Amino acid sequence: MCFEVCRDLETVEATVQTPLVKTTGYQLARPVVLVPILRAGVGMLQGFIEILSEASIGNIGMYRDEETLEPKSYYSKMPQNLEEAEVILIDPMLATGCSSAEAVTQLKQAGAKNLRFVCLIASPEGVAAFNEAHPDVTIYTAAVDEKLDENAYILPGLGDAGDRYFGT
Closest CA to 24 of 32, 36, 16: 16
C-alpha torsion sign, points 17, 22, 23, 24: positive
DSSP letter, residue 80: T
- Active-site position among 116, 160, 164, 168: 160
Tell me whether residue 64 is one of the annotated catalytic residues. Answer: yes
**Which one from 23, 138, 163, 164 is the annotated catalytic residue?**
163
Q: What whole-number distance in Å separates Cα of residue 110 and Cα of residue 160?
A: 28
DSSP code at position 162: H
* CA separation for the pair 138, 148 (Å, rounded): 21
Of the listed 11, 68, 116, 145, which one is catalytic?
68
Q: State the catalytic residue, choosing from 30, 64, 164, 168.
A: 64
Q: Any catalytic annotation for residue 163?
A: yes
| Catalytically annotated residues | 64, 68, 160, 163
